[in-house]
Structures are given as C-alpha cells and as structure tokens.
Amino acid sequence: MDKTINIAVLGGDARYLEMIKNLSKSSITEIQLVGFDQLNQGFTGVKQVNLDDLKLETLDAIILPIPGTNNEGVIETVFSNRKIQLTEGWFKQLSTNCLVFSGITNSYLSNCVNEAGLKLFPLMNRNDVAIYNSIPTVEGTIMIAIQNTDFTIHSAKVVVLGLGRVGLSTASKFSALGAKVSVGSKKKEDFARSKEMGLEAFHIDKLSSYSFDCDILINTVPALVVTDESIKPMKSHALIIDLASNPGGVDFAYAKKRGIKALHSLGLPGIVAPKTAGEILGIVIEQILNEEFQGRSI
C-alpha cells in the first residue's frame, strides 16, 4: 500500500536543507516547508507554504527545529523573519497518528504533544543520532585542537573524560592521529573498553595525577569533573575543550584565573559539517518513518 506520507517541516537551520533533500528523494513523501521563505534554493517537488495553509489533519509527520519550541511555542526559523508560534490548540488539530520530530524537547512542547495524544521523537536523545553526530563533533574538536595549540596532536598527551557516545569517538580518533590518549571514567566497562583500544584508563577522581602533564584535556561528562583541584597543576600551554552540554563540566572561572585556555564547544556538527549533520537527521527520520508506517516503504 503506497499511500503518500505528508510531511511538514516547520523552521530549522542549514542542517535541515540536507535533511529535506534526503527526505524528498523518496517518491512517496510529500513535503511542505514553513519558515523557509528567505531561502534562495529550491527543492524539486517540495512546496513552500504558510503555516495557515497546512491541512493539519492530513499530516503524517511534522518536523520541528532542533531546539523544538521555546516556552511560548515559538520555533526557530533561520530562513524566515516571520514569527511562527505553535499553540496547544494547534497541536490538537493534528491527526493522532501524526509523528512529531524535534531535536530536543522542553515542558511546553512535551505538554502540547501529550495533551494532543501525539508521539514525540526528540532525535538528539537517541543513541543512534548521538553516535552519528559524534563523528562531526570529533572532527570539530580536532579542528579546535589544531587551531588553539602550537604543537601537533601527534605525540601530544591527551586526556579524554568519559567514554560514552562522544568520548569513545574522541579517544579513538585522537589516538588514530598519534596522540597519547588516557581515558578518565568511573565505569568499569570504560576501563575495559580503554584497555581494548590500547589506551590507558584511570578513575576520574584521580584526574589531578593525569592533568598535570597533559597537553589537551577533553571533557564529555555533563557534571563538574574538571574542578579547580585538577586545573591547578596543569601546564600553562595546556588546552581544555569541554564538549558536555550546558553548563558543561569545567570550572571555567578557575581556568581563566589560572591562565589555562578552556573552550566550551557546543553544536559542532552544525558548525563544521552542516551537510553531514543534516544527512544524519534525514537518514534517522527516514528509518523512523519506515518503522512507524510499516508497509509504506519510503
């Protein structure tokens, strides 16, 4: 059964262009764009419409920007000056089968979706998306490390804190470039994985014993782990890169006081590789649509 899948993309940034391109390749998707009126480029078979033009009850999926909505339901529209606000009433006009995609969610969005009996997919919470995104995140981190040091990554002593989805990719690629990587973690499984990767591992509580002679310290743990105590013994040429979500895991005030350069680097995929970041979203949304609309292969 080859029913068309009607998708509305509401707002978004440069990453969404590649995602739209990917999704529009399928012959059974019909895509309408809202909030792209200042976009110079067109997509074959994709229509630009106003919010009011959407026939909400016919939509199979809506794709909101990565940040979802703000607390008043306003969405980010990089390619439009028009304000787009989605009310609880608006969500209730959607069919209950309509899937709602966003990057992250907040209480406003979650509440609207719940009240309307809809299914929300906050893509950035998914393991697969986080792992795919770790690729451009690591390349951004490599770029930052090269730009902000006067030595090579090769032979540098690099400490990576956390061996989760981003930490694993970071440790792996810095090691591949010839850095001497040590991994700080609390988890026994991370010690095992580090060993398997040929990397030294240590308990994060002992960070000071590793930070004192490291050249680059990369944190991926979203909790205050890079404390004044671990920053204090660091060499003045050392660089700290914090990849953990806000508020990060580094005592930035102390690092500044101590004269150690510390950068909180967020949103790297959208900065260094918007095309790849968009492709990732396109691929994952396509997979979810396939699963949710089984039999209607897109």
* Footprint on this chain of a copy of itself (rule: CB under 8 A): 14, 135-136, 139-140, 142-143, 146-147, 149-155, 173, 176-178, 272-276
Please report how close the Cβ of residue 140 comes to a copy of itself at its closest, in angstroms.
7
Both structure tokens of 254: 């102390």
Query: Whose Cβ is closer to a copy of itself: residue 147's or residue 294's?
Result: 147
Q: At which residue do the structure tokens 């994060």 appear? A: 204
Please report how close the Cβ of residue 13 comes to a copy of itself at its closest, in angstroms.
12
What type of residue sits at position 205? D
Both structure tokens of 163: 């061996």
Both structure tokens of 130: 């986080």
End-to-end alpha carbon distance in the chain: 11
Query: Whose Cβ is closer to a copy of itself: residue 100's or residue 181's?
Result: 181
Please report how close the Cβ of residue 150 comes to a copy of itself at its closest, in angstroms.
4
Beta-bridge partners for 148:
none
Q: How many CB atoms lie within 10 A of CB 64?
A: 25
Query: Whose Cβ is closer to a copy of itself: residue 50's or residue 155's?
Result: 155
Distance separating alpha carbons of residues 247 and 112, to the nearest angstrom: 27
Beta-bridge partners for 47:
32
Please report how close the Cβ of residue 228 comes to a copy of itself at its closest, in angstroms.
27
Query: Whose Cβ is closer to a copy of itself: residue 55's or residue 154's?
Result: 154
Please report how close the Cβ of residue 274 comes to a copy of itself at its closest, in angstroms.
5
Query: Whose Cβ is closer to a copy of itself: residue 259's or residue 295's?
Result: 259
